[in-house]
Chains A and B, each alone.
Chain A
Amino acid sequence: MRTARTSLRSRIYSVLRHAILLTGGVVMLFPFIVMVSTSLKPPSEIFSPTFTLLPQEWYAIENFREAFTRVPLARFILNGLLVGATIFLFQALFALPCAYALAKLRFAGRQMTFVLVILALLIPPQVPAIPLYIGMWQLGILDTYAAIILPSTISVFGIFLMRQFFLQIPDDLIHAARIDGLSEFAIVWRIMLPTAIPALTAFAILSFVWNWNDFFWPLIVIQSEHLATPPLGIVFFDNAEAGTNYGPLMAGAVAITAPLVIAFLVAQRRFLEGFAMTGLR
């Protein structure tokens, strides 16, 4: 009797809980649903007063063709890939040795250095934007790939994340490597890096998504259309169209969002594993 009542109760709670979560999920997803739905509709339907999820008349091919021909969308996507991958490679190149030193080496000022890393985490990227811009202007590298890539090559977040992960690697593994004749750099690349692949994957996704979506910095340093990253490219699109033709615009938005969503779905498990291991979840 009692068990029946508690199970009924817990079932009601469970339904309630899911209803709330579901509502939240729908609210979050709604803009994306509208985006996808709009990208499939002809102009007449987009502005019709009644909203339908699916179009009466399928117009997807026209919208996407328009999106890829009106502006060099494929080029934007390639730019995004190039910039994101290069930035991540540099970030890993710097973050791994730094994180190793902070987690496993004993040297004067280690604590202080780590405090500085934490402090740097707190500074929003917009703060150093003006000095960086002036510096790049003086170097004459404004409006190049280097201008987008350079400021992001060192990620304090990456250093922090990898340090947290390295803390859990037993000291004996490093001792064994030293006895086996590995130098400190060899330890980073041959021992720590392969062990850190799950955490590094998680960081790679975060870093890539951040740089793929970053609008602020490319907007400041890039003028040429052919160097634009995807979000900036959408803006070029917008300008070219004077903002009335939403179908192709949304098709472009779908085209630049899709790679990330697909990549996340594919790597979802590794991603969560990586965070579980760094203790950040």
Chain B
Amino acid sequence: MASVSLRGIEKLFGSTRVLNGVSLDIADGEFVSLVGPSGCGKTTLLRILAGLEAQDAGDVFIGGRPVDDLPPKGRDIAMVFQSYALYPYMTVAENMALPLVMRRTSFAQRLPVIGRMMPGTGRTIRGISDEVSAVAESLAIDHLLARKPGQLSGGQRQRVALGRAMVRRPAVFLMDEPLSNLDAKLRVQARTEIAQLHRRLGATFVYVTHDQAEALTMSDRVAVMMDGELLQVAPPQDVYADPQHVKVAEFIGTPQINLVPGRVRADGGVEVLGMALGIGVSLPEGSTVSVGFRAEAVGMTAEGGGHCSALVQHIEHLGSEMLFHLGANGLERTVIARIHPARSPGARPGDSIGIELHGQRAFVFGKDGRRIPALPSATTHAPRLFEPGAMLRTASA
């Protein structure tokens, strides 16, 4: 088992900078997801970690050892590819056995006819096929061993790819969107299986995905990547509840976070649409900020109440919750509120209502997109928000 460290990794393709000083420390046995939009450099980073691509600057350590000069096979890693990359003309058994065959047999032993006659070949081959069967059984693909990859379904291919990575018992598993070719239902199931696999094997997992649900449900820590930089590396609940960058806040969470323009007052209090939110920042008066509210930090009140009035544009019924799309006066983007059906105000599309913005649960971001720590502001135009219980009353009003 091994820890993984990346130090200041940079990568250029021609003159385009794809990775811009990425540093990340992954503990032994940890499950870290690398999540970010398409084209942000996740695959490139994983390939550098695997030794398939050379970085232009920075170092890679696996198990505390620098591995920059080691080829992929010397790094004690295994990789599962998005396309699975199974060898098309080999059977499942041969696919899974190949990494072991290449490691345990000599060149002479691998020769077609002569190899079979070398002493010990038979025993080694039998040992390998026993291990392959054991792994195949643990993945429930032992009945597929004689088939070719072309004769398998997407989910079965994904398991074979996983099996080929597992047989070697590597210290680090690298996975590049292994579930993106599966249908939605299978993906949820496979998610659980990979998480269980991680617990069972105790190996270090680096898991690349652009699906935030995968990243949030499976990992110990999530590394959010944008344009070749890691913006935040934190446990799943923290990237959701405590985003350090406006792009992280926008990327993580469904529905997308509501971002509204704010302004800093003389006393440091933050106001939105001219109304104080009850939080302050240490920025000069008149600074413009961006204030983020998760859908559950937005409440609805009767028309005329709250921060501003709004028109209900659209309602999504999701069973356990309802999403109200609200066109607020003075805001460019629609605001989305997440309401429990039991507390639904009964508004219909076209109704006018009031929007309640819960300042205590808001995130303030500066011009550069970085999070600005919020302090309770000294003076506020809504002092009742400070009384415990008052919030509940307004929320249910």
Contact = CB atoms under 8 A, between A and B. Distances in A.
Interface stretch (A4-12, A125-133, A141-149, A171-179): A171-179
B188 interface: no
Given A172-B81, A172-B82, A178 B87 contact: no
Contacts, number: 54
Interface residues of B, number: 23
Given A175-B47, A175-B52, A181 B85 contact: no
Nearest to B165: A179
Contacts of B103: 181
A178 B81 CA distance: 13
B99 A180 contact: yes
B58 interface: no
Contacts of A25: none
B52 to A, nearest CB: 5
Nearest to A179: B72
A195 B150 CA distance: 13
B77 interface: yes
A182 interface: yes
Contact of A176 (B71, B77, B81, B89): B81
B360 interface: no
B206 interface: no
Contacts of B85: 170, 172-173, 175-176
Given A172-B82, A172-B83, A180 B52 contact: no
A49 interface: no
A236 to B, nearest CB: 40
A275 B99 CA distance: 32
Contact of B50 (A173, A175, A186): A175
Contacts of A243: none
Contacts of A124: none
Contacts of A173: 85, 87
B88 interface: yes
B328 interface: no
A209 B71 CA distance: 43
A178 B102 contact: no
Interface in B87-123: 87-90, 98-99, 102-103
Interface residues of A, number: 16
Contact of A178 (B52, B82, B88): B52
A180 B86 CA distance: 11
A173 B85 CA distance: 5
A179 B50 contact: yes
A145 B90 CA distance: 38
Nearest to B43: A172
Interface string A184-203: 00100001001101000000
B79 interface: yes
A178 B98 CA distance: 11
A42 B51 CA distance: 74
Contacts of A181: 73, 99, 102-103
Interface string A80-122: 0000000000000000000000000000000000000000000
B79 A182 contact: no
A170 B71 CA distance: 20
B267 to A, nearest CB: 58
Contacts of B50: 175, 179
A177 B50 CA distance: 12
Contacts of A194: 87, 89-90
B81 A180 contact: no
A191 B87 contact: yes
Interface string B51-87: 0100000000000000000011100011101110111
B196 to A, nearest CB: 24
Contact of B81 (A175, A182, A186, A191): A175
A197 B52 CA distance: 26
Contact of A195 (B52, B73, B81, B89): B89
B79 A176 contact: yes
A175 B102 contact: no
Contacts of B71: 178
Q: Which of B52, B85, B86, B102 has the most CB of A within 10 A?
A: B85
Which of A172, A175, A177, A180 gathers most chain B CB within 10 Å?
Answer: A180
Nearest to B174: A179
Contacts of A195: 87-89
Contacts of A191: 87
A25 to B, nearest CB: 37
A176 B50 CA distance: 10
A178 B72 CA distance: 6
A180 B98 contact: yes
Name, among A177, A179, A182, the residue most crowded by chain B CB atoms within 10 Å (CB to CB). Answer: A179
Contacts of A176: 79, 81, 85-87, 164
B87 A179 contact: no
Contacts of A180: 73, 98-99, 102, 164
A176 B87 CA distance: 9
A172 B178 CA distance: 13
Nearest to B170: A179
Interface in A186-230: 186, 191, 194-195, 197
24 contacts: A170-B85, A172-B81, A172-B82, A172-B85, A175-B47, A175-B50, A175-B72, A176-B79, A176-B164, A178-B73, A179-B52, A179-B72, A179-B77, A180-B99, A180-B102, A180-B164, A181-B99, A181-B102, A182-B102, A186-B102, A194-B87, A194-B89, A195-B87, A195-B88
Interface of B: 47, 50, 52, 71-73, 77-79, 81-83, 85-90, 98-99, 102-103, 164
| 3 closest cross-chain pairs (CB), A and B | A181-B102, A176-B85, A172-B85
Given A175-B79, A181-B102, 19 more contacts: A170-B85, A175-B47, A175-B52, A176-B79, A176-B85, A176-B86, A176-B87, A178-B52, A179-B50, A179-B52, A179-B73, A179-B77, A179-B99, A180-B164, A181-B99, A191-B87, A194-B90, A195-B87, A195-B89
Interface of A: 170, 172-173, 175-182, 186, 191, 194-195, 197
